[in-house]
Structure 1
Amino acid sequence: MVGIVVVSHSAKAAEGICEIAREMSGEGALEYAGGDPDGGIGTSSDPIREAIETASDGDGVVVLVDLGSAVMNAELAIEMAGVDDVVIADAPVLEGALNAAVAATSPSATVESVRESAEEARDVSKV
């Protein structure tokens, strides 16, 4: 199963997004990394790497991020992780995580199909 990692500058936000995504998708490898090492606002590559490694079961991982520096730390974490086929989705983090989590439950899911599902959330109107 394709794993999903949510990265946010807030650990509470990342955890909450995963909680919502799990509710919508049921099962799956859904991990999060958020906040800086001191418990404040920020991101750090080591917890992101750990989340990627935990979420991976060999089918790859899709990473969703909230803000610019999270991308930089996620890219570094991907380089450090011993996991093949990890991509960052260019998607809104909450809506993208929901789409990705549902898509990842398909027996035919691939990293590319899960990433595409996450990125389709960019076009969803809320009103």
Structure 2
Amino acid sequence: MNPSVGIVLVSHSVKLADGVAELVAQIGPDRVPVVAAGGDDHGGLGTSYRRVREALGAADRGAGVVVVPDLGSAVLTARAVLEDHRRPDVVIADVPFVEGAVAAAVASAGGADLATVVKSAEESRHVSKF
């Protein structure tokens, strides 16, 4: 079986990133590498360049990585990491944090390629809850 696209969750909160990672892991626990990069370097609120960089390595199994940030500086931190370490197989997705992560995991677990996983995550913006 081909490697799955990895998912990195970048959040200001360790608990939020870990919680969404736990939820997403239920979709394809053995197939989809999901890595949380929440909080600052000391475990407090904020974002960490180091944590994002390490998470990218941990989530990469050869099929690419989708980065799902929550907001603000999580986006800026992820962008800074990718500007310093350019990789064509890593994409930051502009998606809702929870819904985008779940949609990405479903697509990845189904064997989709990087572009399809990103597109699936982006489509989560338009899914109504009612």
Most deviating of 75-84 and 59-68 = 75-84
Identity over aligned residues, as a percent?
49
| SS in structure 2 at match of 1:32 | strand
Structure 1 stretches of at least 4 aligned residues deviating more than 2 Å after TM superposition: 24-27, 78-84
After superposition, where does 1:50-65 map in structure 2 within 5 Å? 50-65=54-69
Partner residue of 2:94 out of 90, 96, 100: 90
Structure 1 residues not aligned, in runs of 5+: none
Count of matched residue pairs: 126
TM-score (ref. length: structure 2):
0.90
Q: Which residue of 2 aligns with 1:18?
A: 21
Q: Which residue of 2 aligns with 1:34?
A: 38
Partner residue of 2:7 out of 4, 7, 23: 4
Q: Could you tell me how far apart the structure 1 residues matched to 2:65 and 2:48 are?
A: 18
TM-score (ref. length: structure 1):
0.92
Q: Could you tell me how far apart the structure 1 residues matched to 2:78 and 2:58 are?
A: 15
Structure 2 residues not aligned, in runs of 5+: none
Q: Which residue of 2 aligns with 1:72?
A: 76
Residue type of the alignment partner of 2:29? G
1:104 aligned onto 2:108: yes
Query: RMSD across aligned C-alpha pairs, in angstroms?
Result: 1.4
